[in-house]
Structure 1
Amino acid sequence: MTDRVRAPVRGHLPTVTVWHNPRCSKSRTAVELLRAKAKVEIRRYLEDAPTADELRALLAQLGRPAIDLARHKDAAFHAAGLSRDSAQEALIAAMAANPALIERPIALYNGRAVIGRPPEDCLSLLP
């Protein structure tokens, strides 16, 4: 028996889901980095908006509060009447109603998730 970790066989690459906005350079970079090491399933979250329950599940996978998932420096965040002190459920409801408020990219694999800021952080999910 060996202690070496084998590289994934080409046909048996891990499959990573990415909540992706193709107009975002960071999101495009994350997808490109992941495709070199994994199969990538794309969820265009602006068109296929997550529900509040999906956002709660994502936050559990991230292990982070809702404010970390929100684009809190974006003008739309403040226009929605939100602040860094907004309640968790208010942030979740706002992101479900307006997915443009969600930070991107987000990579999900094997029950864990990361926000790809910087995009290289997405690689930390892979075995």
Structure 2
Amino acid sequence: MIKIYHNNRCRKSREGLQILENAGTSFKVIKYLEDVPSEKEIKNIISLLGIKPIELVRKNEAIWKSDFKDKNLTDDEIITAMANNPKLIERPIVINGNKAVIGRPPSLILNII
């Protein structure tokens, strides 16, 4: 089952959702601001994406700039920050089996569906 970590207030996330709907495939929407992923889930997402934790962070978010930007954080501390402040998680994230992509641009989603 395809999963999309979605924020309806984000245009790119809405575009990603539209791509999945247009593809006619079944998928599960995870509203990650409400259903916040655990640190374990975030680690799994990072592993599937094949990136470092800092690459999943939205660095322009006010909370990142005020609370984390100038600190020398470990990967685990970055993951904890995302779990405690899900607005920091880049979006949309689409997972299909053992493949995952950050939908920026949303057309990248087509590579895994």
Which TM-score applies when normalising by structure 2? 0.92
**CA separation of 1:119/1:84 partners in 2, compared to 1, >3 Å: closer, same or farther?**
farther
Higher relative contact order (CA 8 A, sep 6+): 2
Match of residue 51 from structure 1: 38
Gaps of 5+ in 1: 1-14
| Number of aligned residues | 112
Q: Could you tell me how far 1:83 is from its partner in structure 2?
A: 4.6
RMSD across aligned C-alpha pairs, in angstroms?
1.4
| CA distance in structure 2 between the aligned counterparts of 1:39 and 1:99, rounded to whole angstroms | 25
Q: Higher helix proportion, which one?
A: 2
Query: Percent of aligned positions with the same letter in both sequences?
Result: 36
Does the C-alpha gap of structure 1 residues 105 and 28 become closer, same or farther in structure 2, counting only changes over 3 Å? same
Q: TM-score, normalised by structure 1?
A: 0.82
- Whether the 8 Å contact between 1:82 and 1:91 is mirrored in structure 2 is no
> In the TM superposition, what is the alpha-carbon distance from 1:66 to its structure 2 partner?
0.6
Distance (Å, rounded) in 2 between the aligned partners of 1:55 and 1:82? 20
